[in-house]
Amino acid sequence: MKPALRRLPRGAPVEAPRVLPHGGLDDAECATLAREFLVAIGGCARSAALLGGLNAMERAHLQRRVALHLRLLFDADADEAALADAARAIARAHALCGVRLPQLVAAYALLREQLEAALPRLAPGAAARAALGAVLDRRLAHEVELQSAVFERIDDDAARALRRLDLGAERAADGAALARHAVRALGALDGCLAALFLVPGHGGDLHVEAAFGSAARPYCRAMEAGRIPRISPDPKRPGGAGIGARAWRSGEIVCVDAWSGAAMLEPWQALGLTLGFRSSAALPLRDGRGGTLALLCLYSTWPGFFSTPRVTALLRHARQRHGAALRALRARERRASPAR
């Protein structure tokens, strides 16, 4: 059995892969290794649930992406800059979907063990196999190091969002300003496509008071035009069965990890999938007496994004911090306008 991947010193160059055979692995080998890699990634309950939530097309696409990356990784003609970019993209996808770094490292170690079976074909002779194995170790170790840096960056991104949330809650002069701060702080998260802040409007539906993100405007316009229902606290209305309505009524954060398989999202599903929505979350801001004052709805391009530990902690903090800030602002407004 092959030992665990050797860690490179930080900043160490990756030796040019002169002993890698031109063409590397064939299509069948890449496809097999990609399937095994995803099995290893799905070894914990959370990752298995995420992979299980993908439809057949999404899973096939994911497997093809992994297979293409493996082919690049073991190709002698591959450009090192392209390899690094691909490693960072793979790491970002894993991190934003909630795969843990130790789990990813274990999957790479298993991949290295499985490559032993391909070495005799790729490098006949003991010396050639040893040289090829050493190159593969260096490439894989460098890949894991690059991915570790991406995981750290995404953790830092969540920490910055938390600081933005706190700063917004402190500085907001009124409810509208608080809404703008909230959607900007959460909508700017890497992986978040849209953030909406909703309050009660006319006719029993919720009104979008503030929105942020690349997909926010077309989604809000579709609501205004009646192409999708407005979110409503009333379960009898067209928009009263989705996660926003459920969060409003229950007072709890509600998440959907896979948009394509969520029946409750059917009225919004087609447009949401077109805009790139793959998961969403709704968090209510409570009035302290069992009711809800406002609702934050968030949408991500990554399945499982809002159930990752870093984002779950952020959502809970936002619900508590901005809920308290909104209650204080509403109380101040009532004191300033006693006749109302």
CATH, residue 219: 3.30.450.40
Q: Are residues 117 and 87 part of one domain?
A: yes
Domain hosting residue 66, numbered range = 27-153
In a domain, residue 313? The reply is yes
In a domain, residue 269? The reply is yes
Give residue 8's pLDDT: 38
In a domain, residue 236? The reply is yes
In a domain, residue 280? The reply is yes
Write the DSSP assignment of 212-254 as a string of letters.
ESTTHHHHHHHHHTTSSPPP-S-TTSTTSSSHHHHHHHH-S-E
Q: Are residues 311 and 195 part of one domain?
A: yes
In a domain, residue 158? The reply is no
* Residue ranges in the chain whose pLDDT is less than 50: 1-19, 22, 340
Give residue 49's pLDDT: 65
> d(Cα 84, Cα 63) in Å, to the nearest integer?
20
Cβ-in-10-Å burial (0-12, 13-18, 19+) of 135 comes to buried
Query: What is the CATH number for 123?
Result: 1.10.490
Q: In terms of DSSP bridges, do strands 292-300 and 279-286 run parallel, antiparallel, or are they unpaired?
A: antiparallel
Nearest Cα neighbor of 169 from 327, 280, 315, 288 is 327
pLDDT tens across 2-15, in order?
334 444 344 444 44
For residue 13, the 8-state DSSP code is: P
Give yes or no for a contact between 215 and 240, defined as CB atoms under 8 angstroms apart. Answer: no
In a domain, residue 277? The reply is yes
Q: Are residues 307 and 223 part of one domain?
A: yes
In a domain, residue 255? The reply is yes
Q: Are residues 243 and 291 part of one domain?
A: yes
Q: Are residues 189 and 41 part of one domain?
A: no
Give residue 11's pLDDT: 42
pTM (global) more than 0.95: no
- The residue out of 153, 184, 209 marking a domain boundary is 153
Give residue 84's pLDDT: 86
Q: Are residues 216 and 331 part of one domain?
A: yes
Which helix or strand (DSSP H or E) is residue 335 part of? helix 309-336
